[in-house]
Amino acid sequence: MKKNTYHQNESKILEKIKWLSVSIFFILSFIINYYFHEIHLLIRIFIISFLFLCAISILLCTKKGKSISSYIKLSKKEMQKIIWPTYKETLYTTLIVISVTIVISLLLWSVDNIIFRLIAFIISLRF
């Protein structure tokens, strides 16, 4: 029982150290970009890219990073299962949607116009 709690405490401490190092790498990259603006741009880009890659690689070693990575992999698998429509199907579907929209809008316009004229007629009869 004591070994298990010791292992859990050690794991939590290791996770905190990983997150702290990720934060330090990100903050360090911003500081380098801000304070060393007189250094050649390509050198700064190389250093910042290296720090970002280090931060991301450590981030992927954390529990949360592993779950994000597995989520992205599963999403890619699901995207491969999708059957995308052909150009012809997309064109026909678009034309159907446009034509139905036009027909329904004309129908609603005519019903609105009839109701408007009916109400105007009823109001004119009162006076």
Q: What is the pTM of this model?
A: 0.53
Give the tens place of pLDDT for each residue, 71-104: 999 999 999 999 989 999 999 999 999 999 999 9
Q: CA-to-CA distance for 21 and 61, rounded, in angstroms?
A: 12
- Which residue's entry shows tokens 């890619």? 76
Give the tens place of pLDDT for each residue, 32-51: 888 888 888 888 889 889 99
Q: CA-to-CA distance for 88 and 98, rounded, in angstroms?
A: 15
Q: CA-to-CA distance for 6 and 25, rounded, in angstroms?
A: 29
Written as one string, the DSSP assignment of 13-48 is HHHHHHHHHHHHHHHHHHHHHHHTTTS-HHHHHHHH
